Structure 1
Amino acid sequence: MVGGPIDAYVASLRGALRGPRGAKADLVREARDSLFDAAEHYEQDGFDRAEAERLAVDEFGDVHELAPDYQRELALAQARRTALLVALAVAAQTIVSEIAWRTAATTWSWQPDRFYTILANTVDYASYVVFAGALLAAATCGIGTRFLVVGRPFAHATGIAAITVVGFFLLGGAVLSLLSPAWHTAVPGATPLDMASAAITAALPAWMVYSGFRCIRAAALPAPA
């Protein structure tokens, strides 16, 4: 039955939810399959198809009542993805920056002052803390839900944290670059390593911010059905 009560219900549920496309599709598909199974049972009891679908929908519950639970799952799925992205991005940035720094420093006789050393160490240690914290957040949104009550507020906080992390490292990295000899030394030509470093430095923060905002959006209450 095309365009029946189940199709209308599924369309309404799909429109109310926000989150990762794959996870959302899986949830909607599960709901649709459950509705069709229920409708088939009603048909076996003698109801026609249209009435069977209406009864299945009524039994399943209103979209506005079920959507918050579905949205919680989607918010946690997005938070898990965001946390893993932050962990991988920070690790990649740290490795690339360290390689680039060691390669460039072979031609320097410059010694950093106390402020530069403290700031560099702060950024380094912060990257370790963020990496560990991001992995912990990802685990909390996954297997951690078996032991902890985790919901949309945690996903919202994960999104805010991802955006904050980007701001911190961009600011810290910018200050370190401005104070380093590399900023004031003419470079004859960009090496493949320089280009790769620049590409990663530009792409990863933008991706993290985008994922952070998606996290915040998924953590909001479902849209009215």
Structure 2
Amino acid sequence: MLTAGPIDAYVASLSGALRGPRAAKADLVTEARDGLADAAARYEEDGLDRAAAERAAVEEFGAVADLAPEYQRELALAQGRRTAILVGTAVAAQSIVSELAWRSAAAGWTWQPNRAYAVLANAVDYTAYAVVAGALLAALACGIGSRYVDVGRSFVRATGIAAIAVVAFFAAGGLLLTAFSPFGHHHGTTTLVSATATVVTATLPIWMSYSGLRCVRAAG
């Protein structure tokens, strides 16, 4: 059985200590491996054998426990950025599809919402605008903004929790709006718009919740 060299063992340990988007994690681990390989090559040129050169490179690189927090911060920011973009895009898409579905289903209706229904509908609409704007700001903060603002894992954790809260709010709001409108009791022919709305409203909340949970995990 072949025994992993010092670099392979170090990289495996580093990879096991990190959590986050697969591609971003792979890039960080590959960057670390390449740096270690270059350092080991220099030590070999100085006369050390391969095993000794790898051990020296690992020692120079630093302990996993010391480096992992900074690597993890980068992965957390990547996950936060992805989640924010997803939430903003998903809420905008849901709003558009729901509006189209509503207009399609309500063609020819004379029903007028009462004050409580109108207040709830407006609250849902304005919250959607606020969420899209907030998601854009969060994505910028986790991306290029992290160069200028001290954004860390606590911010990413808050982004994940906010994503889950957004799902809960719109799920509750959507159920209430549907239940207390004629659309909630309408059993007409299924159209392409209504079928699309059903798929979107069922799929995107699951995706957003999962991404939010990944934020919390990456920020842990």
TM-score bracket, shorter-length normalisation: over 0.9
Provide the residue aligned with 2:87 in structure 1.
86
Misfit runs of 4+, over 2 Å: none
2:181 and 2:46 map into 1 onto residues whose CA distance is 78
Provide the residue aligned with 2:69 in structure 1.
68
Kindly provide the amino acid, as one letter, of the partner of residue 201 in structure 2: T
- Offset, 1:185: 2.6
Give the TM-score of the pair, scaled to structure 2. 0.98
Provide the residue aligned with 2:157 in structure 1.
156
2:10 and 2:186 map into 1 onto residues whose CA distance is 64
Give the paired residue count.
Answer: 219
**1:150 alignment partner, SS class:** coil
2:212 and 2:30 map into 1 onto residues whose CA distance is 26
Q: Deviations over 1:33-92 (max 9, x none)?
A: 000000000000000000000000000000011000000000000000000000000000
Q: Does structure 1 conserve the Cα–Cα contact (< 8 Å) formed by 2:104 and 2:193?
A: no
Provide the residue aligned with 1:146 in structure 2.
147
Alignment of 1:15-164 (within 5 A): 15-164=16-165
2:83 and 2:52 map into 1 onto residues whose CA distance is 43
RMSD: 1.0
Kindly provide the amino acid, as one letter, of the partner of residue 165 in structure 2: T
Kindly provide the amino acid, as one letter, of the partner of residue 11 in structure 1: A
- Offset, 1:2: 7.0
2:192 and 2:94 map into 1 onto residues whose CA distance is 16
Q: Deviations over 1:83-124 (max 9, x none)?
A: 000000000000001111111222211010000000000000
Q: Does structure 1 conserve the Cα–Cα contact (< 8 Å) formed by 2:40 and 2:56?
A: yes
Provide the residue aligned with 1:192 in structure 2.
192
2:91 and 2:150 map into 1 onto residues whose CA distance is 28
Q: Percent identity?
A: 64
Provide the residue aligned with 1:203 in structure 2.
203
1:163 and 1:53 map into 2 onto residues whose CA distance is 45
In structure 1, runs of 5+ residues without a counterpart are 221-225
1:167 and 1:185 map into 2 onto residues whose CA distance is 25
Matched, 1:14 2:15: yes
Matched, 1:177 2:172: no
Provide the residue aligned with 1:223 in structure 2.
none
In structure 2, runs of 5+ residues without a counterpart are none
Kindly provide the amino acid, as one letter, of the partner of residue 182 in structure 2: P
Q: Deviations over 1:149-180 (max 9, x none)?
A: 11100000000000000000000010000000
1:16 and 1:56 map into 2 onto residues whose CA distance is 20
Give the TM-score of the pair, scaled to structure 1. 0.96
